[in-house]
Structure 1
Amino acid sequence: MARILFGKTVLSLSIAAVVSACSPQPEAEAPQAATSDNYIASLSVANPSAFARNEQTLLLPFSDLGVTADQANALVAVEGNNTVPSHLIDHNGDGAKDSLLLQFDLAAAATQQLQIINDSARFNAQQLAKRTQAEISHKTGGQWQDSKYIGGEFQNVTELTPPPQYTDHSEWIRYEGPGIESDKVGYRIYLDWRNGFDVFGNKTGKPVLHQVGLDGYKSYHEMADWGMDLLKVGKSLGAGGFGYWDGEKVQLVSKLSGHTAKVIENGALYSALQIQYKDWQIAGKTTQLTANLSMTAGSRLVHTRLASSEALDNFAIGLVKLPNTKLLQGKLDIPGHSWTYLATWGEQTLTGGNDKLGMALLFKRGTNKQLTGDDNSHVAVMQPSGTELEYYFLSAWHGEPGGITTEAEFVAYLEQQVEKLTLTPRLTLKTALSQQQKTGELTAKAALDWSERLAASEMTRQTPFYAYGGWDFERQRPSKWEYTTGLQLQAYDDLLKLRPNPQWQQVLSDVIDSFITPEGDIRTYKISNYNIDSLNSGNMLLREYQRDPKPHYKQALDLLRKQLTEHPRTSEGAFWHKKIYPHQLWLDGVYMGMPFLANYSKAFEQGHAFDEVVKEFTISRAKLRDPNTGLYYHAWDEAREQDWADKDSGLASQFWGRGLGWLAMALVDVLEIIPQQQTELRQPLLDMAAELADALVKVQDAQTGTWYQILDKPDAPGNYLESSASSMFTYFFAKGVNNGYLDASYKATAVKAYKGLIDEFILLHPDNSISLVNTCQVAGLGFGRDGSYEYYMSEPVFRNDAKANGPFIMAGVQMAKLLTTN
């Protein structure tokens, strides 16, 4: 099944699939079924793993459910006649509820069907055992004597800003900082210059923080009925703390004007803290740093989200370095979006016995710059995404009920945790709001309306920010001259031909113009990379030049054309995908390079390069097409040197949906460029289009009309209906019929596919914006990407990604033409 996942955009929250949960609660009496009055959404959840995910936690933003915060005061999830444990939470830490959290058991490779309803009776009837806790407690009724607080009693507060004289061992804050815990383990964060993270071992299987340290600071250093403080932190980062790596050692978050700690949530299933570090002096900068930490029931993990007001070149996260421990490291030869770990295991507690403790940092491999250490800590030096960093830390003590007792058990546990983070559950969400607006006949106007609505939503979320100096929210990096920019802008340009909008047209011109220097160079582009992806935005540059023939635009176009003249090729003349991907022909590259080459050649070379364009297609067919299915493998390595390549054929092993989508779009786009009278050149492309159409119909999902991430494995665990490939194939069929490249009988295929795009992938929000969901964010080969089925499942599933937005908008334009003229 497909899943819904937010990317970080201006208007969007992220849907986190975090680890935990309870089984559904039986009701004493059969409850009322959902009615049209209280029905909010249906949710299908599929487990992509071969192991059960007990206590699985999901966060569903109200915006995704199609309701405002005012409308979400009694949201609950139900499975059949059972209410699924859930509650409303403030996930972004702004003081207002914004998401529904729910927990349930998910069997191995299984799918569950849930409903989300607004039901005050069910909502009020839930009696959830308290399994998480966040607290801050300080003394009142005493007095300060220099930096020590004398006398008084502890009281819990929801927000605390220590006075200037507060420091370590002031005996004013109970256990020296805020605490957060689940029913597995607790943590405290020193709210002073140390900023160390400490571990409270829990023997009870339920929250204990509220009873820790009430009788003084020494008591929790001795074994009690509940457990004890396990760790000697010293000057280290402790059990997952953060700081800055100066090249030799960790600089702690210590040079500050002050702290403020807040309890954001203190619920049965989810608790969260926020710590604000004011005026942190680091790396020659003064920055405001905010840390959001949260835990869910049944989990040892603390989800940590850091955000600084000033961009830093790194954050250092780490674990205390102690004797009698073993350093463990997860896989690093994996895709950048996959999660991995740095961990320690051994006799590293203060109990005085030989009990074992494991600690770990979990992070995305691509954000890790270096694994290193100093005298106090094992350190992972991390690259922030702009000003933000996300990671998890955890501790596992063998004294827990059912605790982990061996290194092998701990490693197996860590491997499951990183798989859960990498392969999040596949979700299909159908909301009442979306269904209400998807009714009615599919007409040409309706198709254009959907394209225009997505374009309008993206005009707010992303499109203007693609300009040089802007921010790419999808990739979390500065905007660059790359294929996604050109793809999205071309889609707008297609739409504007039928739905003119001068303001939008100006934005497109401004984005392209921002990259072209007065000398005709292209900012962020390097010809020496010989990256064929870089050519796609040249199509939009050419359109701009034809509207406004500025000389430096022509110079930039000539620079891109020069790349193809010099670009390295296979022995038969196919373009390498990139210089760093030697001897490799990828389906992606046919779309990235050939429409541009054909367009340029038609505009400036009297079409002299058309034969070269066609040759790229025919080599691709000869090398990549499977004669049995008619589908194309993702890539081919002529040298047979890559790990992903079959040693005999050189082929990758999978039929990746979007890869074949790129080829399908390239076919109909190039056929539009090469004049009809050049029949001999066009015929190989027409033949390829016809046989590809036949192959695609055979793997089109019969129920929805859309296509899977891996085209020929619909029933494999984790596979999902994918929106970018489905949009590309819809565009291919609609444009192919419109222009006569495909038989008119394929109109029905195009219509079914387009209806599927709307039904499966369009999600409406209460502010009238829409999102396009269930897009594979990225997929490639090499550099840790082994091309296996499991690899394609491991890449993040995203939303509002230009690689799907562009084809969806263009598919709507072609459908409008199809429904008008055919």
Structure 2
Amino acid sequence: MARILFGKTLLSISIATVVSACSPQPSATAPQSVGSNDSSIANLSVSNPSTFARKEQNLLLPFSDLGVTASQAQALVALEGGNTVPSQLIDHNGDGNKDSLLLQFDFAAVETKQLQILNDTALFNAQQLTKHTQAEISYKTGGQWQDSKYIGGEFQNVTELTPPAQYTDHSEWIRYEGPGIESDKVGYRIYLDWRNGFDVFGNKTGKPVLHQVGLDGYKSYHEMADWGMDLLKVGKSLGAGGFGYWDGDKVQLVSTVSGHTAKVIENGAVYSALQIQYKDWQIAGKTTNLTANLSMTAGSRLVHTRLSLTEPLDNIAIGLVRLPNTQVLHGKSEVTGHSWTYLATWGEQTLTGGNDKLGMAILYKRGANKQLTGDENSHVAVMTPSGTELEYYFLSAWDGEPGGIKTEAEFVEYLEQEVEKLTLTPRLSLKTALSEQQKAGALTADVALNWSERLAASEMVRQTPYYAYGGWDYERQRPSKWEYTTGLQLQAYDDLLKVKPNAQWQQVLTDVIDSFITSDGDIRTYKLSNHNIDSLNTGNMLLREYQRNPKPEYKQALDLLRKQLAEHPRTSEGAFWHKQIYPHQLWLDGVYMGMPFLANYSKAFEQGHAFDEVVKEFTISRDKLRDLNTGLYYHAWDEAREQDWADKNTGLASQFWGRGLGWLAMALVDVLEIIPADQTALRQPLLDMTAELAEALVKVQHDNGTWYQILDKPNAPGNYLESSASGMFTYFFAKGVNNGYLDARYKATAVKAYEGLVNEFILVHPDNSISLVNTCQVAGLGFGRDGSYHYYMSEPVFRNDAKANGPFIMAGVQIAKLLGTN
């Protein structure tokens, strides 16, 4: 805890100090013009990654990303070709304060739109938006309680309601028994009592109807009306997407609580949201508070559901009522863990008395799902929250709505498109006035170091101290572990601190590494028998710590990592498998994860006896993975030709993945720095590979200096300029020129790459922190990852990821060295 508090304290000092020490602009404060009329604050390029049209696509832009504070963001509007785009200022996190701009527009297939964001009072006030969403809660006043039933009175709408202790089901105090939320497609009510069921209001009008529902009594909405009716018999089930706890046999509803509070967070034309607080839920031997944030957008049937607990609780149950005469439908399970999929039902499951059809579904990330099961009341997906958070969607589609879905086949097609829309998010390039102001001016050595320091300062608050054992990895949403991302980010800091010393930051690095090493030289969370080559990368930082402070336990831990390589399984020619669970496979990633560590260890403790093993790993990689036509390297090779991603003849993966090749590029220049210059025979194959790779990379470099997620397919749907690969290649070119591994003509390539890296991916926030955006969060092969182009598009596009942060910081150090030699 002391480490984390230290890291928290650091930010207010660090960012201000870094910015004032060497700012790339005259002033590091937010532009003074923001907030005035006719003030352009951002330009946005946004692309549809799908080959189908997306109607009413939503796009959420936090104020901080736009470079403005909440107080400045009073009149934000978006223009496309001079026309305003439907939008709404919203409170997305549910804390009572506006924090984001929500845009909505129609996308043609693979379309790119150019939008301008302004803070313009006249345009903002001139917007005339038809109301397409609604959230409400209404209860009776003027009557009286008789035991648990409320007699008499009239309904009034409120924005917040906490029922009294005597309130229960069928009390007829809350209109339609709970809060409601809807779009112009469908409405839902959430029982604000022990049932916590989710019910569906079918809508025949194509516009919001909740304000009409139940005004004339509890029973009226159970009969067909001009607006529609209550469609679903919920009973003791989860209803149309509710949540509870799976005890191993059945669902435990959110019933045993000390109270409920429902709030209307937003009730707007484009977006409406509810928040329900469940106090002191007694479940699984724990007492936890549960907050559910529920939101809908215009034209959508989906309810975005975000659950937050005060105590960790596994086995959250989400699901659908089990009814006869229905077909159970499942989305794809052989997909990456970050991809969305679904559990759905279709059939004659309404209360209308006819043969009309209703489809219901829950949409969730495949990796969060522990099992699909059920009890006598509900079909259930058992979920593992990320710490104390769980996100999912639920939806209903009634064939009685205007233009409704009529068949099971149409419903499945609709679901498949919805999960793709969630998985393949729009591709963004955002240029804000604040960011552009701070990027203005010539690139110098000091400017490059300043950007590295600013990202390091920002990460000192967001993540770095939390990498310590017992901390939380916010990128992966799990407890911190001994893994390669930790080592990469810490090594980047260490590189920076060699030229810009900072005793506080250096102590954080030591604290993080030290937290994993036990007194007897074991490494917490590390398991040698996994033979995971990724686990070795942080050994480089451990070695640096040992060389500064040669504790015996550090050496024992280093020996343990070296032992892994001595026992590590290999291909028939001697290349290291990527992991025990990835047999016979050589991945580009693994060359970086293992070879710099092996070279460093061998130089420090073995007189370099393992250098030939290190070089052999590179030469086998070249032989097996390099494409002769392009000079690029495929992501991986399966010697056994058994994996579904591997070509049955060659064993090769099918794509040139940017970061995969970035790992190899960094490994080349890092290992060349370790093997002494007089060992010319060992170094020559690496020098040859470095020259070849530089030539190949220049051919696929974008005009702005950066590189694509899939290197050779710039025009393919969904492909995007990617920050981690771009940072790695920048580091490769700059370090290659600095150390004489590359011809001096590549200096211009390195500078162009770095300028593109900053211009394309750095976002400045109003508090002077910065973010590095458009990073592929993770990519791999096997276990639902088929290695196709579509797969690499399906992984989340993330920000402030160590796999991009580290190379960016290190690239800035190398560029500073490159420019400092003028």
Please report the TM-score for the alignment, with normalisation by the length of structure 2: 0.96
In 2, Cα distance between equivalents of 1:520 and 1:352: 71
Alignment of 1:670-819 (within 5 A): 670-702=671-703, 704-819=704-819
Q: Is the Cα contact below 8 Å between 2:445 and 2:815 reproduced in 1?
A: yes
AA partner of residue 335 (structure 1):
T
Whole-angstrom distance in 1 between the partners of 2:741 and 2:302: 55
Q: CA deviation at 1:35?
A: 11
Find the residue that maps to 1:69 and give its secondary structure. Answer: coil
| Equivalent residue runs for 1:96-495 within 5 Å | 96-495=97-496
**C-alpha separation between the residues in 1 aligned to 2:211 and 2:314?**
38
2:522 is aligned to 521
Q: Does 1:616 align with 2:613?
A: no
Matched residue SS, 1:620:
helix
| C-alpha displacement of 1:314 | 2.0
Query: Per the alignment, do residues 157 and 190 of structure 1 end up closer, same or farther by CA in structure 2, a change over 3 Å counting?
Result: same
Structure 2: how far apart are the matches of 1:577 and 1:64? 37
In structure 1, how many angstroms separate the alpha carbons of the residues matched to 2:809 and 2:123? 41
Q: Matches of 1:41 and 1:487 in 2, distance apart?
A: 32
Per-residue deviation, residues 479-515 of structure 1 (Å, max 9, x unmatched)? 0000000000000000000110000000000000000
Residues in 2 aligned to 1:580 and 1:650: alpha-carbon distance in whole angstroms: 17
Please give the alpha-carbon distance, in whole angstroms, between the structure 2 residues aligned to 1:738 and 1:684.
19
**Which residue of structure 1 lines up, in the alignment, with residue 26 of structure 2?**
none
1:658 counterpart residue number? 659
CA–CA distance in structure 2, aligned partners of residues 163 and 133 of structure 1 = 25
Q: CA deviation at 1:102?
A: 1.1
Specify the alignment match of 1:536 in structure 2.
537
CA–CA distance in structure 2, aligned partners of residues 427 and 490 of structure 1: 30
CA distance in 2, matches of 1:179, 1:87: 20
Residue-by-residue CA offset, 1:706-730 (whole Å, 9 max, x unaligned): 0000000000010000000000000
Compute the displacement of 1:212 (Å). 0.2
Compute the displacement of 1:153 (Å).
0.3
Deviations 1:632-678 (Å, cap 9, x if unpaired)? 00000000000000000000000000000000000000000000000
Per-residue deviation, 1:821: 1.6
Deviations 1:413-457 (A, max 9, x none): 000000000001101100000000000110000000000000000
Pairing of 1:576-587 with structure 2 (within 5 A): 576-587=577-588
2:599 corresponds to: 598
Paired with 1:205 and 1:108, the residues of 2 have a C-alpha distance of 25
Check conservation: 2:530, 2:580, Cα contact below 8 A.
yes
Local SS of the residue matching 2:547: helix
Structure 1 residue 813: Cα displacement: 0.3
SS in 2 for 1:709: coil
Deviations, residues 232-272 of structure 1 (Å, cap 9, x unaligned): 00000000000000000000000000000000000000000
Q: Percent identity?
A: 87
User: How far apart in 2 are the matches of 1:505 and 1:225?
Assistant: 69
Corresponding position of 2:83: 82
Q: Which residue of 1 aligns with 2:18?
A: none
Specify every segment of 5 or more residues in structure 1 that has no aligned partner in the other structure, as ranges: 1-9, 12-33
Q: Determine helix, strand or coil for the equivalent of 2:71.
A: helix
Q: Matched residues in 2 for 1:578 and 1:80: separation?
A: 51
SS at match of 1:194: coil
Counterpart Cα distance in 1 of 2:813 and 2:284: 51
For residues 387-432 of structure 1, the C-alpha deviation after alignment (integer angstroms, 9 at most, x for no partner) is 0000000000000000001000000000000000000110110000
C-alpha displacement of 1:37: 5.5
> Is the Cα contact below 8 Å between 2:37 and 2:120 reproduced in 1?
no
In structure 1, distance between residues paired with 2:598 and 2:37 = 54
Any idea what the Cα deviations from partners look like across 1:347-389, whole Å, max 9, x if unmatched?
0000000000000000000000000000100000001000000
Which residue in the other structure is 1:571 paired with? 572
- Residue 510 (str. 1) matches residue 511 (str. 2): yes
Provide the rounded CA distance (Å) in 2 between the counterparts of 1:323 and 1:106. Answer: 38
Report the 3-state secondary structure (helix = DSSP H, G, I; strand = E; otherwise coil) of the residue aligned with 1:714.
coil
How far, CA to CA, are the matches of 1:37 and 1:101 in structure 2?
Answer: 19
* Pairwise CA distance, 1:337: 0.3
**Aligned partner of residue 175 in structure 1, secondary structure:** helix
Structure 1: distance between partners of 2:187 and 2:427: 30
Q: Tell me the residue number matched to 2:31.
A: none
Higher alpha-carbon deviation: 54-63 or 549-558: 54-63
In structure 2, the partner of 1:17 is none
- CA offset at residue 476 of structure 1? 0.2
Contact 2:36 2:120 in 1 (8 A): no
Say whether the 8 Å CA contact 2:38–2:118 is kept in structure 1: no
SS in 2 for 1:434: helix
**C-alpha displacement at 1:311, in angstroms?**
0.2
1:87, distance to aligned residue in structure 2 (A): 1.5
What's 2:589 paired with?
A: 588
Write the distance in 2 (CA, Å) between the matches of 1:85 and 1:467. 44
CA deviation map 1:70-109 (0-9, x unaligned): 1110100001121111111111101111111111111100
CA contact (8 A) 2:468 2:512 kept: yes
Please tell me whether the aligned partners of residues 37 and 121 of structure 2 are also in contact (alpha carbons under 8 angstroms): no
> Is the contact made by 2:42 and 2:117 (CA closer than 8 Å) also made in structure 1?
yes
Aligned position for 2:19: none
Could you tell me which residue of structure 2 aligns to residue 20 of structure 1?
none
CA distance in 1, matches of 2:81, 2:615: 56
Q: Which amino acid aligns with 2:819?
A: L
How large is the RMSD of aligned CA atoms in angstroms?
Answer: 1.0
The 4+ residue runs of structure 1 with deviation greater than 4 A are: 34-37
The match for 2:32 is none
The amino acid across from 1:756 in the alignment is G
C-alpha distance in structure 2 between counterparts of 1:643 and 1:425, whole Å: 28
2:95 aligned residue? 94
Q: Distance in 2 between matches of 1:39 and 1:219?
A: 51
Cα displacement (A) at 1:313: 1.3
User: Hey, what's the Cα distance between the residues in 2 that align with 1:284 and 1:186?
Assistant: 35
Matched-pair contact (CA < 8 Å) for 2:36–2:119: no
Secondary structure at the aligned position of 1:70 is classed as coil
For the residue of structure 2 that corresponds to 1:608, the secondary structure is: coil
| Number of positions where the alignment pairs a residue of Structure 1 with one of Structure 2 | 790
Change in Cα spacing, 1:582 to 1:100, as seen in structure 2 (3 Å) is: same
Shift of 1:283: 0.7
Partner SS, residue 771 of structure 1? strand
- Give the Cα separation in 2 of the matches to 1:232 and 1:35: 53
Alpha-carbon distance in 2 for matches of 1:256, 1:81: 52
Equivalents in 1 of 2:187, 2:161: separation in Å? 20
Give the Cα–Cα distance (whole angstroms) in 2 for the partners of residues 626 and 656 of structure 1: 13
What is the deviation of 1:592?
0.1
Q: Which amino acid aligns with 1:174?
A: R
Amino acid at match of 1:688: M
Aligned amino acid, residue 304 of structure 1 = T
Q: CA deviation at 1:701?
A: 0.4
> d(CA) in 2 for partners of 1:80 and 1:372?
50
Counterparts of 1:543-558 in structure 2 under 5 Å? 543-558=544-559
Tell me how far apart the structure 1 counterparts of residues 196 and 280 of structure 2 sit (CA, whole Å): 15
